[in-house]
Amino acid sequence: MSSIKFAVVLGVLGALALASCGGSTSKDTGALQTIDAPATIKVTSPAFVDGAALPRANTCDGTGGPPTIRWISIPSAAKTVAVVVDDPDAPRGTFLHWLVIGLPPRPGSVPSTAAGVSELDNTGGTRGWTPPCPPTGATHHYRFTVYALRDYVCADNGDASNGPGCSAPSSVQALPQIRDTAIARGVLVGTYRR
């Protein structure tokens, strides 16, 4: 086997190994639950109320688009806002469904078309929203958490700027930055059972 073919085979095997593990974001998402930032942000959705079922349309059993999430009460010291949606009931550990960074530090919503907003990679291996698709029989809880941050979330690639123009990071780089710079948070929980 030529060295090029061998390198390609190794690359494919490595990608398959990462995919079978559910991605490396799962363990990092759980660490966000230790954030000691005050829960002063009010998070709502026109699609569901806190503790209620997510609409079927926002899951893998429907069209799979993300629900609209809104927030108010962002502290004046915030430079930016991030939204993290995860499922702590996933069989292989917390599953990251959606990670949005670069949101303006004011009342807002996602999905967002604001300049500078980035949707990062999720545990499913795609960018943006991965719709809930839990195994049959158990109710899963989906936490839509909004974080007000005292600093921007940037790639750890040597950018001279750690500001609104910096490069977007991977989720693995972003989650610790969110944890370390959160000054306020708010959560809205939706459930889904198949």
- Residue spans of beta strands (DSSP E) within 78-155: 80-87, 95-103, 108-110, 118-119, 140-149
Structural domains in the chain plus CATH codes: 23-192 (3.90.280.10)
- CA 30 to chain CA centroid, Å, is 11
Tens-of-pLDDT digits for all 194 residues of the chain? Answer: 444 443 333 333 333 333 333 345 655 676 677 788 999 999 999 999 999 999 999 999 999 999 999 999 999 999 999 999 999 999 989 999 999 999 999 999 999 999 999 999 999 999 999 999 999 999 999 999 999 999 999 987 655 567 777 888 999 999 999 999 999 999 999 999 99
Distances (CA, A) of 155 to 24, 90, 114, 168: 17, 28, 19, 5
Rounded CA separation 117/135 (Å): 32
Distances (CA, A) of 100 to 18, 114, 160: 22, 11, 22
